[in-house]
Amino acid sequence: MKKVLVILLVLAMVFGGVVFPKPVQAQKEFFLTLVVGINLYQLNGVSKTADVPPVIVNGRTFVPVRLVSESFGADVSWDNATRTVTIRSDNTTITLKVGSKTATVNGKPYTLDAAPYILGGRTMVPIRFISEALGLYVYYEPQKRVIYISAKPSYTVPGVTDTEIKIGTFSALSGPLAVVGVPFYHGFQSYINWINDQGGIYGRKITVLVADDQFNPALTVTAVKKFVEEDKVFAVVAGLGTPGCLAVMDYLNNNGVPFVYQGSGSSKLSIPPKKYVFAVQPNYYNEGQIFVKYAKTLGLNNYALLYQDDDAGNEGAQGVAQGIAKFGGNLVYKSSFPGTETDFTPYLLKVKNSNADVLFIYAPANTSIGANIVKTAKSLGLTQKIFLPYSYSGIVATAGSASEGVYVTGWVDFSNPEDPGVKKFFEIWKKYYPNDNSLLYSYAVAGFVAGEVFVEALKRAGKYPTRDAIVWALETFYGWSGLLAKDISYGPNERAGKYSMFFMQVKNGQLVKVSDWISVLK
């Protein structure tokens, strides 16, 4: 039963769901995705059914000959007398004979590891041999036994040459939020540098154009339009900040430009799903629910909530309300505040005098405000426990000793410093940015994960990356894990990435993991 459920989940994530309308590109593409042992497959993002699923024979994957050949547009003929199949495409002619390990390509003989055979009335042939003879590229992902086959596109792909893939990114590299933006960008760029130093992806180095938008969405819009219209980037990856990401997501989607990973938890990025926009970080709505669910496990039932009056803050507040509806508890004090607020004493005196057990602070877009609230709360002698969103993983650096005892959510687990992925992250980050503040590692982690997700999609897209191929490749992520990225999933109608988080607490100046993974789905 467990195996059946796993297969059904794979089918749902890899092949099921909505097929998005194609906003811009009308050029011919070929991107085929198959799973060993499963009849369903995808051709250019559209689900189809094969009579016979791919199977493994002598370590080689066999498929019905017409599945790949005719999907690609080749002609297939069968000679029943000689039991020979012939495939013709452009200037290529391939012949194979059932039961024989000898095949020919344009008359040149090749020896196969296993001979073609008949299964369910279909002629089964080795998929890699056929594909590569037709000039296609094959990539096999062993984690889920998924096969990706792509063709060289019949048009020029923006930002892609034989030696380069050009992408854009934006972050706050100056201004008050540079404390987040600089390590975020450095984490992303360090991973890209590491990939490039290994030769890149299929011989292409990744060139990153970076814009300093200072967390100002007006600057984000200007920079992203320049990326697309003048610089002709292939994709935009690792944009930081809810305001800027929301300001450009529709523009990028409508222009068919992949927007992979946003340094934001806004659910608007993934709900409703947009074809070219892929979020990763848990959204603020779910995080607000997780605040309440964890508070209940600590026996805390009365909650105070301070939240910034912006998209992110309001979403978190809605999540807290939904969490109370689902998991119980009482909201005894609630107040929003403007992003220009500097004096939180009046708010915190009301919290202090309330019957609250815990104070939820929801201002993920402005960590300096949260640090100010934490320091003011400690100076006023508040005894309530304090919960902060995951963007505050650098709270020790920004609030100092006042952060002691504060709780912060997390979605990348650093609780085991000996974990190979954790050790590799620090090795890579510090190699390229040795002077970065180690206390701000969590912001670098976010950028690093963005690089991991994008590069994995490039690998799956194969030697001939196109913008739609990146989309189709990402849609095959089902529980994918990298060095730091864990359990990332997408599908044709799914763009959220993650639904679970854990809690850390500042103890002796260090963030220490204090909970298991907590999911809003359970």
The string of pLDDT tens digits covering residues 235-275 is 999 999 989 999 999 999 999 999 999 998 888 999 899 99
State which amino acid sits at residue 57: V
Higher pLDDT, 521 or 511: 511
Which residues, at least 6 apart from 127, have a Cβ–Cβ distance to it below 8 Å? 34, 54, 60, 61, 62, 63, 68, 138, 147, 149
- Average pLDDT, stretch 16-38? 65
Res. 282 pLDDT band, cuts 50 70 90: confident
Q: Is there a cis peptide before residue 272, judged by omega within 30 degrees of 0?
A: yes
pLDDT tens track for 75-124:
999 999 999 999 999 889 999 999 999 999 999 999 999 999 999 889 99
pLDDT recorded at residue 13 = 41
On whether the CB atoms of residues 256 and 22 are closer than 8 A, the answer is yes
Helix H or strand E segment including 139: strand 137-141
Q: CA Rg, the chain, in Å?
A: 26
Mean pLDDT of 316-343: 96
pLDDT beyond 70 at 341? yes
Alpha-carbon gap, residue 19 to 8, rounded angstroms: 19
For residues 397-401, give the mean pLDDT: 94
State whether the Cα torsion 451-456-460-462 is positive or negative. positive
Q: Which residues pair with 43 in a beta bridge?
A: 32, 46
- The two beta strands, 60-64 and 55-57, are antiparallel
* Helical (H) or strand (E) element with 430: helix 420-432
What pLDDT does residue 520 have? 83
**Amino acid (1-letter code) at residue 298:** L
* Cα gap 85→98, rounded to integer Å: 8
Residue 421, pLDDT above cutoff 60: yes
How high is the pLDDT of residue 28? 65
The model's confidence at residue 138, banded by pLDDT at 50, 70 and 90, is: very high
Q: Tell me the pLDDT tens digit for each residue of 196-245.
A: 999 999 999 999 999 999 999 999 999 999 999 999 999 999 999 989 99
Tell whether the model's pLDDT for residue 482 goes beyond 60: yes
State the Cα–Cα distance between residues 115 and 99, nearest whole angstrom.
5
Residue 58 has a pLDDT of 87
pLDDT bin (cut points 50, 70, 90) of residue 21 is very low
Share of the chain residues as helix, strand and coil, in percent rounded to the nearest 5:
35, 30, 35
**pLDDT (average), residues 459-480:** 92
Compute φ and ψ for 10, nearest 5 degrees. -60, -45
Note the pLDDT tens digit of each residue in 434-451.
Answer: 999 998 898 999 999 999
Three-state DSSP string of 181-227 = HHHHHHHHHHHHHHHHHCCCECCEEEEEEEEECCCCHHHHHHHHHHH
CA distance 306 to 384: 13
Q: Is 145 helix (H, G, I), strand (E, B) or coil?
A: coil
Confidence bin at 17 (pLDDT 50/70/90): very low
Beta strands in 456-517 (DSSP E): 489-491, 494-497, 500-507, 510-513
Query: CA angle 489-476-170, nearest 5°?
Result: 65
The pLDDT assigned to 27 comes to 40
Torsion angle in degrees (nearest 10) through CA of 53, 54, 55, 61: 170
- φ, ψ at 63 (rounded to 5°): -135, 165
Alpha helices, DSSP H only, in 269-405?
A: 284-297, 311-327, 345-353, 367-379, 395-399
Q: Is the pLDDT of residue 16 over 60?
A: no
- Residue 165: pLDDT over 50: yes
What's the Cα-to-Cα distance from 230 to each of 91, 208, 223, rounded to whole Å? 38, 15, 10
Average pLDDT, the chain: 91
Q: What is the pLDDT of residues 53-72, one digit of tens each?
A: 999 998 899 999 988 888 88
- Residue whose C-alpha is closest to residue 444's, from 172, 190, 170: 190
Contacts of 265 (CB under 8 A, 6+ apart): 242, 281, 282, 283, 284, 287, 312, 315, 364, 389, 390, 391
The better pLDDT of the pair 482, 28 is held by 482
Taking only the tens place, the pLDDT of each residue in 355-369 is 999 999 999 878 899
Instruction: Give the pTM.
Output: 0.79
Distance set, CA 224 to CA 53, 134, 211, 262 (Å): 43, 38, 8, 13
Q: Report yes or no: 339 and 369 within 8 Å, Cβ to Cβ.
A: yes
Q: What share of the chain in percent tops pLDDT 90?
A: 77
Closest CA to 436 of 425, 448, 447, 444: 444
Percent of the chain surpassing pLDDT 70: 94
